[in-house]
Structure 1
């Protein structure tokens, strides 16, 4: 009987000990599992935040790179004194300079450290610093205009983000869209037709009434400041890069200041209208001249009369 009591006590002790051990192991495993889950959740949140920050910052980066790319493209066509062959040729050159900072494989000084490739390297370095591998590949880039004063930059890219611990990864294709103002950019028409010797930056006019009665001070200010005015009969900013002078709903135009051109040593064409895209094209001939309170070189086609509020002035046919 004594033996049985000792055996029972021993068995009870073993059971209690094993139970405690199992409880400790279970508690440890549960705690460890929670730690792992919390670590994974934290890592996923960090990766998700990284992707969000990349998307938020990308618009700024695209705007900077695209603006510098357009400046460089204008410089390129002006220096070479030739237009792009087509819209697709413009898009192709824009993609090269935007992504790589080169034109025809040649490095462009203005794009140094400002190309999209440079930006993506900086993002990759930031990702690596927190244990991520990041890569973005530009699949396609195109330009468009949905209003006269901005360029629409469309980008399709493949994005890959991986955790160095293989916790998770993001892989997706996404289209990005950014508007870039053309104000301050140079007009390629001026650069090409003056062999790069005379540049004219796009500045939107702030004058709404060009002529009031016989007062032409508003129009003269518009001309003297080389302001641009939106006109659906004129070509858009992008169309000027490939010499398409057809009418566009996003068209813009300026009035050439003839005395300024003459002072720079350029030939003057007295029979031509002074609207910029019409002045350099042979098919355009001035129709209306000798406007009251305007310089004698100011000549236009009939279609411009009401647009610039000129109908209240005396004038003659050319």
Structure 2
């Protein structure tokens, strides 16, 4: 009897042990599977975040491409748009034509990595300028990502800011069209390069002036037209104004010749503002055709204003 009870107890313990092992193995399998699924979902989340960034880059690229194409178009047609609204309309049309090229490129690139994405552009248009060094493009887009374990279908509306640095400056159209011959590619193209100096009150000096001039930099200033205004040849001052020195490579390019009675601030020179020679200055060790008005001497040379000499 005792042996029978002992055997029963022993078998019961063995059964519990076997069941506990089985349950443990089942739990571990489930745990591993859940972790794998969690990793997959996390990876898809990251892919979706990356997809959003790719779309942002597509909008920026389309916007910058549209701006450069409009600058070239102005040269080819030898005329500026009439106003800001016409510029916005033109840029919106160009962005709408090019955005799909970049979005399809992103879609196909991800497809090569076995990632299925799609999109629906509900609306996209150029909004204008909200700060000195950027322009905005509004987009309303639905982003779609599909996989065997999860899918996203999300619409978002936002304004994406595109930097203007590196873009063609359309203000030089009048000079480019005179010297370009039969092809714009044969002429100098002036692009926006942001200065590392602000030239705030009393901060200018001779060294900064030379570096600014030699590097063809632009600075932010409320006395100048904005980047967008340059597309419709408006030289009035703007909250988002930028200015540079007149690019001398264009002035020395036949048939152009330097004007002796103009300041070499780009928008002043191009808009035809004329000074008495007594109100213009040449700068020490700089080409003597280069001239600045008195206010500009104070801004750019500052404490080294004695490096400037009256023309006459």
**Partner residue in 1 for 2:103:** 120
Structure 1 residue 177 displacement after superposition? 1.8
- Secondary structure in structure 1 of the residue aligned to 2:222: coil
Aligned partners of 1:209, 1:130: CA distance in 2, in Å?
A: 52
Whichever structure has more helix as a proportion of its residues is 2
Aligned partners of 2:214, 2:145: CA distance in 1, in Å?
A: 57
Task: Tell me the TM-score normalized by structure 2.
Answer: 0.67
Task: Tell me the TM-score normalized by structure 1.
Answer: 0.66
- Secondary structure in structure 1 of the residue aligned to 2:134: strand
Give CA deviations for 1:181-230 in whole Å, capped at 9, x if unaligned: x22222111134331544222223345779x9xx8454344333322222
Larger CA deviation: 139-148 vs 88-97: 139-148
Aligned residue among 35, 56, 60 for 2:53:
56
Q: Unaligned regions of 5+ residues in structure 2, if any?
A: 1-29, 181-186
**Partner residue in 2 for 1:189:** 171
Give CA deviations for 1:141-167 in whole Å, capped at 9, x if unaligned: 22433443x2232222131538699x9
User: Is 1:137 aligned with 2:121?
Assistant: yes
Aligned partners of 1:162, 1:309: CA distance in 2, in Å?
A: 57
Aligned partners of 1:209, 1:41: CA distance in 2, in Å?
A: 54
Q: Aligned in 2, Cα 1:50/1:190: closer, same or farther, shift over 3 Å?
A: same
Q: Map of 1:201-220 to 2, 5 A cutoff?
A: 201-206=191-196, 216=206, 218-220=208-210
**Partner residue in 1 for 2:69:** 72
Aligned partners of 2:141, 2:280: CA distance in 1, in Å?
A: 57
Structure 1 residue 314 displacement after superposition? 5.6
Query: What do you get for the CA RMSD once the two structures are aligned?
Result: 3.9
Aligned partners of 2:250, 2:106: CA distance in 1, in Å?
A: 47
Q: Map of 1:242-281 to 2, 5 A cutoff?
A: 242-258=232-248, 261-281=251-271
Q: Aligned in 2, Cα 1:123/1:204: closer, same or farther, shift over 3 Å?
A: closer
Give CA deviations for 1:78-127 in whole Å, capped at 9, x if unaligned: 222222222222222222222313xxxxxxxxxxxxxx202332455547
Give CA deviations for 1:223-249 in whole Å, capped at 9, x if unaligned: 333222222101111211111211112
Q: Aligned in 2, Cα 1:260/1:223: closer, same or farther, shift over 3 Å?
A: farther
**Partner residue in 1 for 2:183:** none
State how many pairs are aligned: 262
Aligned partners of 1:161, 1:169: CA distance in 2, in Å?
A: 6
**Partner residue in 1 for 2:144:** 161
**Partner residue in 1 for 2:14:** none
- Secondary structure in structure 2 of the residue aligned to 1:306: helix
- Is the CA contact 2:176–2:250 (under 8 Å) kept in the aligned structure 1? no
Larger CA deviation: 83-92 vs 117-126: 117-126
**Partner residue in 2 for 1:304:** 296
- Is the CA contact 2:96–2:124 (under 8 Å) kept in the aligned structure 1? no
Q: Unaligned regions of 5+ residues in structure 1, if any?
A: 1-33, 102-115
